[in-house]
Amino acid sequence: MHGGAQTTGQIAIARGGPERITDLRALWESLHEHNAVIATQLIELGPVRSPENSWALRRNRYARWLSEPDAFVLLAKGPSRPVGYALVHMRGAEETWATDERIARLETLAVLPAYRGRGIGSALVDAVYRELRALDVRQLDVSVIAYNSDAVRFFERLGLARHQVSYLGTIPA
Ligand SMILES: CC(C)(COP(=O)(O)OP(=O)(O)OC[C@H]1O[C@@H](n2cnc3c(N)ncnc32)[C@H](O)[C@@H]1OP(=O)(O)O)[C@@H](O)C(=O)NCCC(=O)NCCS
Protein backbone atom coordinates (compact mmCIF):
# COMPACT_ATOMS: atom_id res chain seq x y z
CA MET A 1 0.00 0.00 0.00
CA HIS A 2 2.77 2.46 0.86
CA GLY A 3 5.84 3.43 -1.11
CA GLY A 4 4.41 3.87 -4.64
CA ALA A 5 6.17 6.47 -6.81
CA GLN A 6 4.83 8.79 -9.48
CA THR A 7 6.30 11.67 -11.48
CA THR A 8 4.50 14.97 -12.03
CA GLY A 9 6.38 16.98 -14.68
CA GLN A 10 10.02 16.80 -13.57
CA ILE A 11 9.13 16.16 -9.93
CA ALA A 12 9.25 12.62 -8.57
CA ILE A 13 6.77 12.04 -5.78
CA ALA A 14 6.70 9.02 -3.48
CA ARG A 15 3.89 7.89 -1.23
CA GLY A 16 4.64 6.77 2.31
CA GLY A 17 3.26 6.07 5.75
CA PRO A 18 4.61 6.28 9.32
CA GLU A 19 8.03 4.93 8.26
CA ARG A 20 8.73 8.29 6.54
CA ILE A 21 8.04 10.51 9.54
CA THR A 22 11.72 10.99 10.44
CA ASP A 23 12.36 12.28 6.88
CA LEU A 24 9.90 15.13 7.49
CA ARG A 25 11.77 16.84 10.30
CA ALA A 26 13.82 19.38 8.28
CA LEU A 27 10.77 20.20 6.18
CA TRP A 28 8.54 20.68 9.20
CA GLU A 29 11.18 22.89 10.79
CA SER A 30 11.28 25.06 7.65
CA LEU A 31 7.51 25.45 7.86
CA HIS A 32 7.83 26.26 11.56
CA GLU A 33 10.42 28.92 10.68
CA HIS A 34 8.00 30.34 8.11
CA ASN A 35 5.24 30.41 10.76
CA ALA A 36 7.62 32.06 13.24
CA VAL A 37 8.08 34.96 10.81
CA ILE A 38 4.31 35.24 10.36
CA ALA A 39 3.91 35.07 14.17
CA THR A 40 5.36 38.56 14.50
CA GLN A 41 1.90 39.67 13.28
CA LEU A 42 0.26 37.48 15.95
CA ILE A 43 2.19 38.91 18.87
CA GLU A 44 -0.74 38.44 21.27
CA LEU A 45 -0.18 34.67 21.07
CA GLY A 46 3.22 35.00 22.76
CA PRO A 47 6.53 33.43 21.70
CA VAL A 48 6.80 30.52 19.26
CA ARG A 49 8.31 27.16 20.23
CA SER A 50 11.84 26.14 19.37
CA PRO A 51 12.04 24.06 16.15
CA GLU A 52 12.94 20.95 18.22
CA ASN A 53 10.00 21.39 20.53
CA SER A 54 7.63 22.08 17.64
CA TRP A 55 8.81 18.96 15.83
CA ALA A 56 8.45 16.81 18.96
CA LEU A 57 4.75 17.73 19.13
CA ARG A 58 4.13 17.48 15.42
CA ARG A 59 5.90 14.12 15.07
CA ASN A 60 3.49 12.59 17.60
CA ARG A 61 0.50 13.95 15.71
CA TYR A 62 1.88 12.62 12.43
CA ALA A 63 2.32 9.18 14.02
CA ARG A 64 -1.30 9.21 15.18
CA TRP A 65 -2.73 10.48 11.88
CA LEU A 66 -0.66 8.13 9.73
CA SER A 67 -1.89 5.15 11.75
CA GLU A 68 -5.46 5.93 10.59
CA PRO A 69 -7.01 4.15 7.58
CA ASP A 70 -6.18 5.74 4.21
CA ALA A 71 -3.87 8.41 5.66
CA PHE A 72 -0.72 9.08 3.65
CA VAL A 73 2.24 11.36 3.13
CA LEU A 74 3.60 12.30 -0.31
CA LEU A 75 7.24 13.34 -0.53
CA ALA A 76 8.77 15.35 -3.38
CA LYS A 77 12.18 13.93 -4.14
CA GLY A 78 15.19 16.27 -4.07
CA PRO A 79 18.85 15.72 -4.99
CA SER A 80 19.68 14.15 -1.62
CA ARG A 81 16.56 14.40 0.54
CA PRO A 82 12.88 15.27 0.21
CA VAL A 83 12.25 18.94 -0.65
CA GLY A 84 8.52 19.01 -0.01
CA TYR A 85 5.65 16.99 1.41
CA ALA A 86 1.90 16.81 1.76
CA LEU A 87 0.32 14.91 4.65
CA VAL A 88 -3.32 13.87 4.49
CA HIS A 89 -5.74 11.97 6.69
CA MET A 90 -9.50 11.56 6.72
CA ARG A 91 -12.09 13.41 8.75
CA GLY A 92 -15.86 12.99 8.98
CA ALA A 93 -18.70 14.85 7.30
CA GLU A 94 -19.68 18.47 7.88
CA GLU A 95 -22.86 18.70 9.97
CA THR A 96 -24.17 21.86 8.32
CA TRP A 97 -23.42 21.13 4.70
CA ALA A 98 -24.44 17.90 3.01
CA THR A 99 -20.88 16.83 2.27
CA ASP A 100 -19.69 13.29 1.66
CA GLU A 101 -19.14 11.03 4.70
CA ARG A 102 -15.37 11.40 4.40
CA ILE A 103 -13.43 14.59 3.78
CA ALA A 104 -9.65 14.57 3.28
CA ARG A 105 -7.77 16.87 5.60
CA LEU A 106 -4.51 18.28 4.23
CA GLU A 107 -2.66 18.78 7.52
CA THR A 108 0.58 20.02 6.01
CA LEU A 109 1.86 21.17 2.65
CA ALA A 110 5.45 22.41 2.79
CA VAL A 111 8.32 22.99 0.38
CA LEU A 112 11.85 23.90 1.46
CA PRO A 113 12.44 27.67 1.02
CA ALA A 114 15.06 27.28 -1.72
CA TYR A 115 12.64 25.18 -3.79
CA ARG A 116 9.47 27.30 -3.46
CA GLY A 117 7.87 28.93 -6.48
CA ARG A 118 8.97 26.15 -8.90
CA GLY A 119 5.75 24.20 -9.07
CA ILE A 120 6.60 21.59 -6.41
CA GLY A 121 3.70 22.58 -4.14
CA SER A 122 1.31 22.41 -7.12
CA ALA A 123 2.71 19.02 -8.15
CA LEU A 124 2.17 17.72 -4.60
CA VAL A 125 -1.43 18.92 -4.66
CA ASP A 126 -1.99 17.22 -8.05
CA ALA A 127 -0.57 14.01 -6.58
CA VAL A 128 -2.80 14.35 -3.48
CA TYR A 129 -5.80 14.69 -5.79
CA ARG A 130 -4.80 11.53 -7.65
CA GLU A 131 -4.49 9.56 -4.40
CA LEU A 132 -7.86 10.85 -3.20
CA ARG A 133 -9.64 10.01 -6.45
CA ALA A 134 -8.32 6.45 -6.10
CA LEU A 135 -9.80 6.38 -2.56
CA ASP A 136 -13.08 7.80 -3.87
CA VAL A 137 -12.68 10.85 -1.61
CA ARG A 138 -13.98 13.98 -3.33
CA GLN A 139 -13.59 16.80 -0.82
CA LEU A 140 -10.57 18.42 0.79
CA ASP A 141 -10.17 20.62 3.86
CA VAL A 142 -7.08 22.70 4.68
CA SER A 143 -6.41 25.47 7.20
CA VAL A 144 -3.86 28.25 6.87
CA ILE A 145 -2.58 30.67 9.47
CA ALA A 146 -4.13 34.11 8.99
CA TYR A 147 -1.48 36.45 7.46
CA ASN A 148 0.14 33.59 5.48
CA SER A 149 -0.86 35.50 2.37
CA ASP A 150 1.32 33.47 -0.06
CA ALA A 151 -0.30 30.24 1.06
CA VAL A 152 -3.78 31.83 1.07
CA ARG A 153 -3.22 32.82 -2.57
CA PHE A 154 -1.98 29.31 -3.35
CA PHE A 155 -5.07 27.61 -1.85
CA GLU A 156 -7.56 30.11 -3.26
CA ARG A 157 -6.18 29.44 -6.72
CA LEU A 158 -7.13 25.79 -6.21
CA GLY A 159 -10.75 26.92 -6.14
CA LEU A 160 -11.46 25.79 -2.56
CA ALA A 161 -14.14 27.78 -0.74
CA ARG A 162 -13.08 30.03 2.15
CA HIS A 163 -14.76 28.23 5.05
CA GLN A 164 -14.08 28.98 8.75
CA VAL A 165 -12.32 31.77 10.58
CA SER A 166 -10.89 30.55 13.92
CA TYR A 167 -9.75 32.53 16.96
CA LEU A 168 -7.15 31.71 19.60
CA GLY A 169 -6.36 33.79 22.66
CA THR A 170 -6.12 33.99 26.44
CA ILE A 171 -9.15 33.96 28.72
CA PRO A 172 -9.21 37.16 30.81
CA ALA A 173 -8.00 36.59 34.40
C1 LIG B 1 2.74 27.22 0.03
C2 LIG B 1 3.79 26.29 -0.60
C3 LIG B 1 3.55 24.87 -0.12
C4 LIG B 1 3.62 26.35 -2.11
O5 LIG B 1 4.60 25.51 -2.71
P6 LIG B 1 5.46 26.06 -3.95
O7 LIG B 1 6.24 24.91 -4.47
O8 LIG B 1 6.17 27.28 -3.54
O9 LIG B 1 4.23 26.43 -4.93
P10 LIG B 1 4.20 26.50 -6.52
O11 LIG B 1 5.54 26.85 -7.04
O12 LIG B 1 3.52 25.29 -7.03
O13 LIG B 1 3.19 27.70 -6.70
C14 LIG B 1 3.63 29.02 -6.46
C15 LIG B 1 2.67 29.70 -5.56
O16 LIG B 1 2.86 29.27 -4.22
C17 LIG B 1 2.69 30.37 -3.34
N18 LIG B 1 3.92 30.63 -2.60
C19 LIG B 1 3.96 30.58 -1.27
N20 LIG B 1 5.18 30.89 -0.83
C21 LIG B 1 5.96 31.10 -1.89
C22 LIG B 1 7.34 31.45 -2.04
N23 LIG B 1 8.16 31.63 -1.01
N24 LIG B 1 7.81 31.58 -3.29
C25 LIG B 1 6.99 31.43 -4.34
N26 LIG B 1 5.69 31.10 -4.24
C27 LIG B 1 5.17 30.93 -3.03
C28 LIG B 1 2.26 31.54 -4.16
O29 LIG B 1 0.84 31.52 -4.16
C30 LIG B 1 2.81 31.21 -5.51
O31 LIG B 1 2.06 31.78 -6.48
P32 LIG B 1 2.24 33.29 -6.97
O33 LIG B 1 2.81 33.17 -8.32
O34 LIG B 1 0.88 33.83 -6.92
O35 LIG B 1 3.18 33.99 -6.01
C36 LIG B 1 5.25 26.72 -0.25
O37 LIG B 1 5.49 27.98 -0.73
C38 LIG B 1 5.57 26.63 1.23
O39 LIG B 1 6.09 25.62 1.71
N40 LIG B 1 5.30 27.69 1.98
C41 LIG B 1 5.59 27.69 3.40
C42 LIG B 1 4.72 26.70 4.15
C43 LIG B 1 3.26 27.02 4.06
O44 LIG B 1 2.86 28.17 4.19
N45 LIG B 1 2.41 25.98 3.86
C46 LIG B 1 0.97 26.12 3.78
C47 LIG B 1 0.30 25.91 5.08
S48 LIG B 1 0.01 24.19 5.43
pLDDT in tens, 24-76: 999 999 999 999 988 888 888 888 999 999 999 999 999 999 999 999 999 99
Please report how many Cα atoms fall inside a 13 Å half-sphere around the Cα of residue 155, on the Cβ side: 19
Query: Does residue 119 line the site of ligand 1, with CB under 6 A?
Result: yes
Query: Does residue 111 line the site of ligand 1, with CB under 6 A?
Result: yes
Query: Does residue 154 line the site of ligand 1, with CB under 6 A?
Result: yes
Cα–Cα dist 164/122, whole Å: 23
- Ligand 1, residue 112: give the atom nearest the CA: 39
pLDDT in tens, 84-124: 999 999 999 999 999 999 999 999 999 999 999 999 999 99
Among protein residues, the one with the nearest Cα to ligand 1's atom 9 is 121
C-beta neighbour count of 130 within 10 angstroms: 15
Query: What is the mean pLDDT of the segment spanning 137-147?
Result: 95
The confidence score (pLDDT) of residue 2 equals: 46
Query: What is the mean pLDDT of the segment spanning 147-163?
Result: 93
Among protein residues, the one with the nearest Cα to ligand 1's atom 12 is 119
The confidence score (pLDDT) of residue 1 equals: 39
Binned at pLDDT 50, 70 and 90, residue 5 comes out as low
Question: First vs last Cα of the chain: how many Å apart?
Answer: 51
To the nearest whole percent, how much of the chain has pLDDT over 90?
83
* 102 within 8 A of 92, measured Cβ to Cβ: yes
- Ligand 1, residue 150: give the atom nearest the CA: 19
Segment (H or E) for 110: strand 103-111
Please report how many Cα atoms fall inside a 13 Å half-sphere around the Cα of residue 70, on the Cβ side: 16
The confidence score (pLDDT) of residue 46 equals: 85
